A and B are shown apart, each in its own frame.
Chain A
């Protein structure tokens, strides 16, 4: 029954006055920006006029993503999950990176709880100019004692500002935490409503205006039934947990479940499953005498598997950096906009204040290679020239093998940027992975070629050892 969002359907609800206040010349262009998620309705000032109220509502509905967006937290400490539009990222892009929560048990001693919360909040890794961070705390009531849990949620609330998930299948536990645990005003995610407790949990969700999770392990029909019921009684912010099994046949079924509900929501417009998906790789930690290293390893690759198949929120247990780094890196990869160009502009970059004796380095115009190299050089404080050769947006090794990285290309670059006027020497450092081009480049340019390190993190040490001007 619902109308499809197309250029014309969106356009017909816009003011159609081409006022240009949104910084594009016409409402038609603005419509296409809305469709590509490059603009939001907020960017159209005339639309805010009350006379467009109905159109505004219609546009909001038309442009709403097939998977609802759910916000957890308040104010500046909000995590938004879901809001997905497509099954495969090449069709548009994925929105709202998978949020990662770390669990805190109320059986931990108070000191450890405070330390753990602070560690999660402070956790930061930098990759290619971006900060990789953890997003939430999942407080687990392992003690089964509502009073203890409320004390612990107070402790967590005082220790960090991260958005929270309150985990217990006992509604009494959730109730006491919301009443006395200093978290009610933080709009935590209530985890979780089940077949048995949905009524009580939904009352809490309504009373405190909190989003809630729905738990139906390996049972999509039950999940649908719960969601349908909860929607009927006025709950609209939900997160679906189909039970993330991590082993054997149950893992196979879990992956199938995740694909099926996402496809039903996006391609079949099934409104009973169009909520964000959560998965709990932390379940690998159930059991005695687990080896911490192999269990962290396992949790990390299970998290990656679920992230590859539609998880919008993960609860994890490990805090080992070596295990979290690849998971966060994968998230960075998957949620990069595929419309972003693969290449940067070829040419000459000046890093720091190079003089006529400064080193001249060479890299490719594949954006990841370029940013990695440029960041490494900048952060090590070297004054130099960085030449960016056009390899059709390919990385060093691939473009050397594929013939896009050639000595002729380097020669053309030399003359187009006038590098010979900028430095007195004739010495070029090439990437270690392009070693085999050394001879060719020397013959073509008459420069001396130094084969640099295979990894740009070692440029500083390399130059200290090898860069001299006679």
Chain B
């Protein structure tokens, strides 16, 4: 309807209304408010005449009105890069299989509009020395904590982890100051003990990490591991160089800021590292301790990538085991109920939230989270049928 016609119709309606006061309208789709809108230009000068709003007469309806729904599909101009983690014998590594993340064409699980072919992936935390862990986590690993190879093995064999995230925290000069060479030996041991891909993490010491990661990259030559992490405060150029030379992937870590993340990604790209070898860690805060910032940050990053910002088109890693930093996850408290359940649930819900916001790879600590997430991801990908009946939930719920 053109503007002119609208105005004429509006005028006619006004005249009609003035004559008859009330108007019956057959098509209930037209609402009184819309009429007011149509006649707005005229009505403003007549603003004090309250009888101008027509009374819409409701019809008697016997059968359901028909309706159609077409899925509101959006096509995004951009796509998230696909990153291949791990290398098999044919690619020059020794892993059992390659794991792919990224390649998303839409937001997580919006399968009505596009298929994100790669499912989210579950890595688990292993440390190169016994550390203080929440009791709920520790009870599963106290027999293997002395040896990271055993720890990793247990996680792969008993709990079906996709990837081992090996944290070389003993390299911290304030902890044990393990040398890069010795740390690299640990990496070799773990690579031999398990056949899944590895994330190799430093201690967070900005001077030491590049040296540790460089040495680790060398012994893991060709295995397509993930080096954790490059950031603006350490010698990221050294890490990138090692990743390129020995064929690994680099995590770009920034503390909770989309612009800084973009900047760091740019630095790595400028060093000649392709998108396919970068994973972003924009910071995962625990449930209750800033998870809201992480949620919105990841949604913004993922949407920006899908909308075509090529500096933000890398997959996202979420160390959601950070959930164990929340006191609600580990602290003994009668008011809060048993921590054996509360802790893993805290990690599970943190992980679900970052997964729905756009994370592609998780670092987890508790076997229950791994188990729940595995099943949930399979369900969200429709990999198994369900004969669930909820039609009679009102009468069928137990209790």
- Residues on A close to B: CB < 8 A? 1-3, 50-55, 57-58, 61, 88-90, 103, 105, 108, 125, 127, 140-142, 144, 167-169, 191, 195, 198, 217, 220-221, 224-229, 231-234, 243-253, 255-256, 259-260, 263-264, 267-268, 270, 272-273, 280, 282-283, 285-288, 290, 293, 296-298, 300-301, 304-305, 308-309, 317, 320-323, 325-327, 329-330, 332-334, 336, 338, 342, 366, 368, 372, 394-395, 397-399, 401-404, 435-436, 455, 457
- Among A125, A250, A326, the residue within 8 A (CB) of B346 is A326
A53 and B48 alpha carbons, distance in the complex (Å): 8
17 pairs across A/B with beta carbons < 8 Å?
Answer: A54-B47, A61-B33, A61-B37, A142-B395, A144-B395, A169-B394, A221-B69, A229-B61, A245-B390, A248-B388, A283-B390, A286-B388, A286-B390, A325-B328, A334-B292, A342-B293, A403-B233
B336 at the A/B interface (Cβ < 8 Å)? yes
Complex interface: chain A residues within 8 A of B396 (CB): 142, 286
Check B231–A402 contact: CB distance below 8 A: yes
Minimum Cβ distance to chain B for residue A389 (Å): 15
Q: Among the interface residues A90, A255, A305, A326, which one has the most CB atoms of the partner chain B within 10 A?
A: A326
Contact indicator per residue, chain B 123-139, by CB within 8 Å of chain A (1) or not (0): 00000000000000000
Check A168–B394 contact: CB distance below 8 A: yes
Complex interface: chain B residues within 8 A of A334 (CB): 292, 295
A282 and B390 alpha carbons, distance in the complex (Å): 10
Check B394–A167 contact: CB distance below 8 A: yes
Minimum Cβ distance to chain B for residue A388 (Å): 17
Which 4 residue pairs spanning A and B have beta carbons closest together? Answer: A248-B386, A322-B337, A224-B67, A322-B342
Smallest CB-CB separation from A328: which chain B residue?
Answer: B288
Interface window among B78-86, B105-113, B154-162: B105-113
B59 at the A/B interface (Cβ < 8 Å)? yes
Check B299–A88 contact: CB distance below 8 A: yes
B9 at the A/B interface (Cβ < 8 Å)? no
Smallest CB-CB separation from A265: which chain B residue?
Answer: B72
Complex interface: chain A residues within 8 A of B303 (CB): 88
Check B34–A1 contact: CB distance below 8 A: yes
Q: Among the interface residues B112, B285, B299, B398, which one has the most CB atoms of the partner chain A within 10 A?
A: B398
Minimum Cβ distance to chain B for residue A322 (Å): 3
Check B36–A395 contact: CB distance below 8 A: no
Minimum Cβ distance to chain B for residue A64 (Å): 9
- Among A229, A231, A251, A288, the residue within 8 A (CB) of B379 is A251
Check B397–A140 contact: CB distance below 8 A: yes
Check B289–A58 contact: CB distance below 8 A: no
Smallest CB-CB separation from A334: which chain B residue?
Answer: B292
- Among B34, B36, B61, B376, the residue within 8 A (CB) of A232 is B61
Smallest CB-CB separation from A257: which chain B residue?
Answer: B112
Smallest CB-CB separation from B338: which chain A residue?
Answer: A322
Number of residues of chain B lying within 8 A (CB) of chain A: 94
Interface window among B210-218, B236-244, B347-355: B347-355
Smallest CB-CB separation from A400: which chain B residue?
Answer: B204
Complex interface: chain B residues within 8 A of A88 (CB): 296, 299-300, 303
Check B337–A320 contact: CB distance below 8 A: yes
Smallest CB-CB separation from A53: which chain B residue?
Answer: B50
Check B337–A234 contact: CB distance below 8 A: no
Check A249–B345 contact: CB distance below 8 A: no
Complex interface: chain A residues within 8 A of B395 (CB): 140-142, 144
- Among B61, B174, B335, B391, the residue within 8 A (CB) of A233 is B61
Tell me whether A333 and B47 are in contact in the complex, defined as CB-CB below 8 angstroms, given that A256-B111, A326-B345 are known contacts: no
Minimum Cβ distance to chain A for residue B75 (Å): 13
- Among B48, B110, B174, B288, the residue within 8 A (CB) of A256 is B110
Tell me whether A260 and B71 are in contact in the complex, defined as CB-CB below 8 angstroms, given that A217-B391, A228-B65, A457-B327 are known contacts: yes
Check A404–B394 contact: CB distance below 8 A: no
Check A248–B67 contact: CB distance below 8 A: no
Check A329–B256 contact: CB distance below 8 A: no
A3 and B36 alpha carbons, distance in the complex (Å): 12
Contact indicator per residue, chain B 197-219, by CB within 8 Å of chain A (1) or not (0): 00000001010000000000000
Q: Among the interface residues B37, B66, B325, B345, which one has the most CB atoms of the partner chain A within 10 A?
A: B345
Tell me whether A249 and B296 are in contact in the complex, defined as CB-CB below 8 angstroms, given that A54-B47, A167-B394, A226-B64 are known contacts: no
Tell me whether A322 and B345 are in contact in the complex, defined as CB-CB below 8 angstroms, given that A2-B37, A301-B372, A338-B296 are known contacts: yes
A307 and B388 alpha carbons, distance in the complex (Å): 21
Check A395–B289 contact: CB distance below 8 A: yes
Check A228–B110 contact: CB distance below 8 A: no
Minimum Cβ distance to chain A for residue B227 (Å): 16
Complex interface: chain B residues within 8 A of A287 (CB): 398
Complex interface: chain A residues within 8 A of B344 (CB): 297
Check A225–B64 contact: CB distance below 8 A: yes
Tell me whether A272 and B386 are in contact in the complex, defined as CB-CB below 8 angstroms, given that A54-B43, A89-B296, A457-B327 are known contacts: no
A336 and B295 alpha carbons, distance in the complex (Å): 12
Tell me whether A54 and B390 are in contact in the complex, defined as CB-CB below 8 angstroms, given that A252-B111, A322-B345 are known contacts: no
B8 at the A/B interface (Cβ < 8 Å)? no
B20 at the A/B interface (Cβ < 8 Å)? no
Check A127–B288 contact: CB distance below 8 A: yes
Check B69–A249 contact: CB distance below 8 A: no
A404 and B257 alpha carbons, distance in the complex (Å): 13
Minimum Cβ distance to chain B for residue A83 (Å): 18
Check A301–B386 contact: CB distance below 8 A: no
Complex interface: chain A residues within 8 A of B287 (CB): 326, 329-330, 333
Complex interface: chain A residues within 8 A of B388 (CB): 245-248, 250, 283, 286
Minimum Cβ distance to chain B for residue A417 (Å): 25
Smallest CB-CB separation from A250: which chain B residue?
Answer: B386
Complex interface: chain B residues within 8 A of A103 (CB): 397
Check B390–A280 contact: CB distance below 8 A: yes
Minimum Cβ distance to chain A for residue B187 (Å): 22
Complex interface: chain A residues within 8 A of B112 (CB): 256, 259-260
A53 and B112 alpha carbons, distance in the complex (Å): 44
B381 at the A/B interface (Cβ < 8 Å)? yes
B331 at the A/B interface (Cβ < 8 Å)? yes
Minimum Cβ distance to chain B for residue A191 (Å): 8
Complex interface: chain B residues within 8 A of A228 (CB): 65, 67
B window 59-105: CB within 8 A of A: 59-61, 64-69, 71-72
A455 and B325 alpha carbons, distance in the complex (Å): 9
A436 and B185 alpha carbons, distance in the complex (Å): 26
B176 at the A/B interface (Cβ < 8 Å)? no
B2 at the A/B interface (Cβ < 8 Å)? no
Smallest CB-CB separation from B348: which chain A residue?
Answer: A301
Complex interface: chain A residues within 8 A of B348 (CB): 297, 301
If A88-B299, A105-B397, A252-B380 are given as contacts, then 10 extra A-B residue pairs at C-beta distance below 8 Å, sorted by A number, are A52-B47, A89-B292, A90-B299, A221-B68, A248-B384, A326-B346, A330-B291, A401-B255, A403-B206, A455-B327
B window 13-67: CB within 8 A of A: 28, 33-34, 36-37, 40, 43-44, 47-48, 50, 52-53, 58-61, 64-67
Complex interface: chain A residues within 8 A of B289 (CB): 368, 372, 395
Smallest CB-CB separation from B46: which chain A residue?
Answer: A54
